Amino acid sequence: MRAYILRRLAQSVLVVWAVTTIMFFMFRVMPADPTAMLLERGLSEQAREKLLQEWGLTGTLWDQYIAYLANILQGDFGNSFLYRKPVWDVLTPLIINTLWIAVPGLLLGAALGAVLGTAVGWARRGGKLERMGIFLATVIRGVPNFVIGIALLTIFSSTLGWFPEFGMGDPGDRTGFARYFTLEFLHHLALPLIAVIIYFMPENLLLMRSGVVENRTEDYIELVRAKGVPQSRVAWHAARNSMLPLITWLFPALAETIAGIVVIEIVFSWPGVGRELVFAVSRQDYPLAQAAFFLLAVMIVLANLAADLVYGKLDPRVVYK
Amino acid sequence: MNFTTFEKPGRKSTELAKLNDRLAAKPAAHLQVQNLSVGYSIARGIFQAVDDVSFEVKPGTNLGLVGESGCGKSTVIKAIMGLQPDGTRISGLALLNGENILGLSDRELQAIRWVKVALITQSAMNSLDPVYSIGDQIVEAIRSHENVSNATAWARAEELFALVGMPAARLYEFPHQFSGGMRQRAVIAMALALNAGMLLADEPTTALDPIMQSQIMQRIRGIHEHMRRSMILVTHDIAVVAETCENTVVMYAGKVAEKGPTEDVLERPLHPYTMGLKNAFPRLPVRGEPRQPLISIPGVVPNLFHPPKGCRFAGRCPFATERCHNDPPALVSEGMQAAACHYIDRASEFREAASRPETWRRMGSAA
């Protein structure tokens, strides 16, 4: 088990290194010249050289690459071109903002999807609940997530006026974590959070349903029924076994879903890391974009590792070698 | 074999002793199945898997239900347990100690399943939940019906494992860590958990190798003799029935072909199908006598979407006449025995002919 985790961690490091390398070259083959945006016109050649040196953009490609890797190893992604301060100073508050909608959104989406999927899968085949469940889940899954966001905004903000239309609210003079524990913040959080849940839930529901439908006709379910346990308990056995394929899908999907959250952040003007990533790319703020991509890569790699470990906890047949 | 379970342990916890006393006090069940018919409705129509089947299991006796695959044996068992799929049409009665248990809802059946009727499943390979330990699954059965602590239920599970000859430590293992024979024993232990008055064993040895088969059957016979539960043993192995069951019901294509005391049915079969079934099983050669040839019955069970209008066995019967193809025979009693054949009076003549391979071979070439 420990050897397995160590080996998987080593693999993960390798994957992250590959991603950072690709990232390095990708940004350098992009057609736009970052200095054009960075440097004001009419700057002397000397001043330009000095700035380039500061940003680590001098020397051969190889020299730049070595310097880049050395910096990353120290956790230093440089300064944002735009904000003119270290990228982590820019990103850290944004990451926290994103986690506020991502973590509860994905957890609730997965949990609700699993519960509803079990209900739909356990319902009478061809019955009303099954048909409605599949229909709604399929339709919602097919709707692009910005449409979900815009629909929520139109209904609950513009028309009913129940929720604010954008942003996180004014923190006033609160700093640090205190800013998150206000009614105003929760009020702003509600709609984007609901959007993430609606966006993430249908896939979970459909996967869970098909698992339960498959498992409910298995022999072991028949024996559980024969034991005379309550129906909810029989359904639980089917659900418990259906979680295995769901988990395999869920963790990698979590990372992918972060990309979907970018869109929701933009629709709700939520100052999160995803929104900033899009801005950074369009402004050729390479250090910032690199750091954000690096973060995404690490998250995807960790999600896969977590999936393997959780799967082992849920399925006694899994052996780590 | 060590049957300590139902002796009063005394040294163990009092809760366990009380539970064991309570369970040991359960009487063996009396089951009367009357005119049971089971039809599956499928897109193409109704598939009549079981047609007007009646039999009785007296308290403490063992009934063998035999017939080749697809004769509706397992369907009978599922119907008694209420495990038929949605949309199945069931008619008739299954009187358990005088009370009908057919057509009850899942909720109503909770008070009957495992408490009064327990099941030893057909494929122990797949009938255990892969993600729970064996012990958890036995404890689940106990605690769903008996208000006892987790520790007591586990102690009971340990006793059950001892009863089927397995070390208690293996309760903590998962189904995939068990061999086929061990799983089958675990399933038997589970079936005994609440000492139900009626045990339904649905081909308990089919998936096992011959050595394991005989071990498991010995185990089942030992338990049967010791606890005197009523039991239905579904099998296609006539030898098993001969060794284990007081009474036998032979099913063919969803109908009862013949029934009666096992000795009578196997020694003096009245129905040509029973005669053919007997031939199809190997007997140990007796020194000095010619080897008994194995004779199989040519043909297959008829399609039950379009059951033949006469005797269902007529198409494969070497003695069939015009009448057999047109008139369905009723069950005719002869002493304790009964068979659904028009020519019960010619049974001894048929028996003699049926023991000769040519009788069946001619049949096969004609078909």
Task: Kindly report the average pLDDT of chain B as a whole number.
Answer: 88
Q: Residue B102 pLDDT more than 90?
A: yes
Distance CA A95, CA A223 (A): 49
Contacts with A228 from chain B: Cβ below 8 Å: 109-115, 141, 144-145
Where b means 16+ CB within 10 Å and e means fewer, A9-43 reads eeebeeebeebbeebbeebeeeeeebeeebeeeee
Q: Is A81 a domain residue?
A: no
DSSP per-residue string spanning A178-196: GGGSSHHHHHHHHHHHHHH
Cβ of residue B69 closer than 8 Å to a chain A Cβ: no
| Residue A212: alpha-carbon gap to chain centroid | 27
**Closest chain A C-alpha to B179 CA, distance in angstroms:** 14
Are A20 and A150 contained in the same domain?
no
Are B319 and B200 contained in the same domain?
no
Q: Is A218 a domain residue?
A: yes
Distance CA B27, CA B163 (A): 20
CA distances from B332 to B36, B72, B180, B257, B276 (A): 18, 21, 42, 10, 19
Tokens (6 digits) for B5: 């379970």
* Domain around A261: 90-314
Average pLDDT over residues B57-71: 91
Cβ of residue A7 closer than 8 Å to a chain B Cβ: no
DSSP per-residue string spanning B69-85: TTSSHHHHHHHHHT-PP
Q: Is A35 a domain residue?
A: yes
Distance CA B204, CA B52 (A): 25
Are A177 and A273 contained in the same domain?
yes
Distance CA B245, CA A172 (A): 85
> Quick one: pLDDT at residue B367?
43
Average pLDDT over residues B290-316: 83
CATH number at residue B242: 3.40.50.300
Span B247-286, pLDDT tens digits: 999 999 999 999 999 999 999 999 999 999 888 777 666 6
**Closest chain A C-alpha to B227 CA, distance in angstroms:** 20
Are B336 and B192 contained in the same domain?
no
Highest mean pLDDT among A155-164, B160-169, B303-312: B160-169
Distance CA A268, CA A145 (A): 12
Please give the backbone phi and psi of residue A60, each rounded to the nearest 5 degrees, phi first: -70, 170
Task: Kindly report the average pLDDT of chain A as a whole number.
Answer: 83
Strand order of the sheet with strand B31-42?
Answer: B45-57, B31-42, B88-96, B99-100
Pairing status of strand B198-202 against strand B117-120: parallel
Total of domains in chain A: 2
Are B305 and B223 contained in the same domain?
no
* Domain around B203: 24-249
In terms of CA atoms, which chain A residue is nearest residue B196? A227
> Quick one: pLDDT at residue A83?
83
Instruction: Tally Cβ neighbours within 10 Å of residue B246.
Output: 15
Cβ of residue B17 closer than 8 Å to a chain A Cβ: no
Total of domains in chain B: 2
Q: What residues are paired with B33 via a beta bridge?
A: B55, B94
Distance CA B206, CA B213 (A): 8
Are A133 and A99 contained in the same domain?
yes
Q: Is A319 a domain residue?
A: no
Pairing status of strand B230-234 against strand B62-66: parallel
Sign of the alpha-carbon dihedral angle for A225, A226, A230, A236: negative
Q: What share of chain B is helix, strand, coil (3-state, %, to 5)?
A: 40, 20, 40
Contacts of residue B57, Cβ cutoff 8 Å, sequence gap at least 6: B29, B30, B31, B32, B63, B198, B230, B231, B232, B247
> Quick one: pLDDT at residue A239?
94
Quick check: B86 and A223 CB within 8 A?
Answer: no
Q: Is A214 a domain residue?
A: yes
Q: Residue A41 pLDDT more than 80?
A: no
The 3-state DSSP class for residue B324 equals helix
Contacts with A244 from chain B: Cβ below 8 Å: 131
CA within 13 Å, CB half, B327: 11
**Closest chain A C-alpha to B110 CA, distance in angstroms:** 4
CA distances from B186 to A216, A220, B127, B179, B181 (A): 22, 13, 11, 10, 9
Cβ of residue B247 closer than 8 Å to a chain A Cβ: no
Whether the CB-CB separation of B207 and B128 falls below 8 Å is answered with no
Cβ of residue A315 closer than 8 Å to a chain B Cβ: yes
CA distances from B61 to B31, B257, B266, B280 (A): 10, 21, 18, 26
Tokens (6 digits) for B273: 């199908």
Q: Residue A54 pLDDT more than 90?
A: no
In terms of CA atoms, which chain B residue is nearest residue A316? B131
- Nearest by CB to residue B119, choosing from A226, A244, A317, is A226
Q: Is B217 a domain residue?
A: yes
**Closest chain B C-alpha to A230 CA, distance in angstroms:** 7
Contacts with B129 from chain A: Cβ below 8 Å: 220, 224, 237, 240-241
Are A53 and A118 contained in the same domain?
no
A257's enclosing H/E stretch is helix A231-267
Residue carrying structure tokens 């209904």? A155
- Residue to mutate among A130, A216, A223, A233, with most B CBs inside 10 A, is A223
Quick check: B130 and A241 CB within 8 A?
Answer: yes
In terms of CA atoms, which chain A residue is nearest residue B77? A226
Is ipTM beyond 0.90? Answer: no
Instruction: Tally Cβ neighbours within 10 Å of residue B89.
Output: 13
Distance CA A316, CA B177 (A): 10
- The reported pTM is 0.81
Quick check: B140 and A229 CB within 8 A?
Answer: yes
Are A252 and A187 contained in the same domain?
yes
Are B190 and B66 contained in the same domain?
yes
Are B163 and B56 contained in the same domain?
yes
